[in-house]
């Protein structure tokens, strides 16, 4: 069942969304050569608590990993796709691209968003990967309209990625969001006719999060049980926003 939110609930989700946006803006500016991914983690933890919110990821149990996640951020560098763990040993260097993903719980409602930033001079190909991934997210958000179906979102993302010669990761997907971090429906970044294709209705809120590889789509998880990487070692980019389906069209909650 896909839970639909009232206008009052959407206002609360808006506050969670704007908090996540604010945090990601700060972290995006902080992410420079010489900074560690743990530095980003510490700053994010402080900002979340200062706002009177609770980190959404820390303590979140993920069945595939068989344990709870231990950080407030996922920081996924270069060939890491998602669920990279902040570390004092991971010093950002010129040419890296880093996906910063975070979520908060504020006043009972979740917000979840991610962006990928380049460190110093980044290769032309990596810049194009980030641009195409972000564009694919925008095209997906644009489809979050009452009367459309889920596949309109999935297909818009997938078409843009594949027509630009990149590939969509299949093992990780977006999701509904509300009083839980992950609600129905799953929001894949590709169309698979075997999946359900519900009609979108007012009040639904979706976290759309394309994960796009420069090379082949295949992924594997490192021995740390969390970090998903590309099998071929190619770079991967990730952007995410939460969007509400409203009578006025898509309302992106996680940016002003």
| List of residues contacting ligand MF3 (CB under 6 A) | 57, 60, 62, 69, 74, 83, 101, 112, 114, 175, 207, 209, 240
Task: Please say which residue, 9 or 112, places its beta carbon nearer to Co ion.
Answer: 112
39 versus 101: smaller Cβ distance to ligand MF3: 101
SS3 call for 248: coil
Which of 112, 152, 158, 183 binds Co ion (CB under 5 A)? It is 112
The nearer residue to Co ion, 79 or 240, going by C-beta atoms, is: 240
Least gap, CB of 243 to Co ion (angstroms)? 12
The answer to whether the beta carbons of residues 92 and 33 sit under 8 Å apart is yes
Give the closest residue to 199 by CA, choosing from 255, 141, 150: 150
Can you read off the two tokens belonging to residue 15? Answer: 């506050």
**What minimum distance in Å lies between the beta carbon of 92 and ligand MF3?**
20
**How many residues sit close enough to Co ion to count as binding (CB under 5 A)?**
2
DSSP 134-191: HHHHHHHHHT--TT-BHHHHHHHHHHHHHHTT-EE-SS--EEE-SSSSSEEEEE-SS-
Closest distance of CB 198 from ligand MF3, Å: 19
Q: Which string of b and e fits 103-138 if b means at least 16 CB within 10 Å?
A: bbbbeebbbbbbbbbbbeebeeebeebbebbbbbbe
State the binding partner of 45 from ligand MF3, Co ion, none, CB within 5 to 8 A by kind: none
Give the residue at shortest CB distance from ligand MF3: 69
The rounded radius of gyration (Å) of the Cα atoms in the chain is 17
Using CB distances below 5 to 8 A depending on partner kind, what does residue 57 bind out of ligand MF3, Co ion, none? ligand MF3
Whether omega before 185 lies within 30 degrees of 0, making that bond cis, reads yes
77 forms beta bridges with 98
Site for Co ion in 191-230 (CB under 5 A): 207
x/- string (CB under 5 A) for Co ion, residues 156-195?
Answer: ----------------------------------------
- What's the min distance (Å) between Cβ of 168 and ligand MF3? 16
Is the torsion defined by CA of 36, 40, 45, 46 positive or negative?
A: positive
Complex with Co ion: residue 103 or 118, whichever CB lies closer: 103
Q: Is 96 an interacting residue with respect to Co ion (CB under 5 A)? A: no
Sheet holding 80-82, edge to edge: 80-82, 228-230, 219-221
Residues forming contacts to Co ion in the complex (CB under 5 A) are 112, 207
């Amino acid at each position: 069942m896909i839970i639909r939110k009232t206008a009052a609930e959407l206002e609360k989700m808006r506050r969670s969304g704007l908090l996540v946006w604010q945090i990601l803006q700060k972290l995006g500016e902080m992410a420079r050569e010489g900074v560690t991914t743990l530095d980003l983690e510490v700053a994010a933890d402080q900002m979340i608590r200062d706002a009177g919110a609770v980190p959404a990821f820390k303590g979140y149990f993920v069945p595939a990993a068989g344990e709870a996640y231990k950080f407030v951020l996922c920081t996924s560098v270069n060939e890491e796709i998602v669920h990279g763990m902040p570390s004092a040993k991971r010093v950002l260097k010129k040419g890296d691209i880093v996906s910063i993903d975070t979520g908060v719980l504020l006043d009972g409602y979740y917000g979840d968003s991610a962006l990928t930033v380049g460190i110093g001079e980044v290769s032309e190909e990596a810049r194009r990967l980030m641009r195409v991934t972000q564009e694919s997210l925008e095209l997906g958000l644009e489809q979050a309209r009452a009367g459309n179906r889920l596949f309109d979102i999935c297909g818009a993302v997938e078409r843009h990625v594949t027509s630009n010669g990149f590939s969509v990761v299949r093992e990780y997907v977006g999701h509904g969001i509300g009083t839980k971090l992950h609600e129905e429906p799953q929001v894949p970044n590709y169309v698979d006719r075997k999946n359900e294709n519900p009609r979108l209705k007012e009040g639904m809120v979706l976290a759309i999060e394309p994960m796009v590889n420069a090379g082949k789509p295949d992924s594997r998880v490192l021995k740390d049980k969390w970090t998903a990487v590309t099998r071929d070692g190619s770079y991967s980019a990730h952007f995410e926003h939460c969007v509400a389906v409203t009578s006025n069209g898509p309302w992106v909650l996680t940016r002003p």
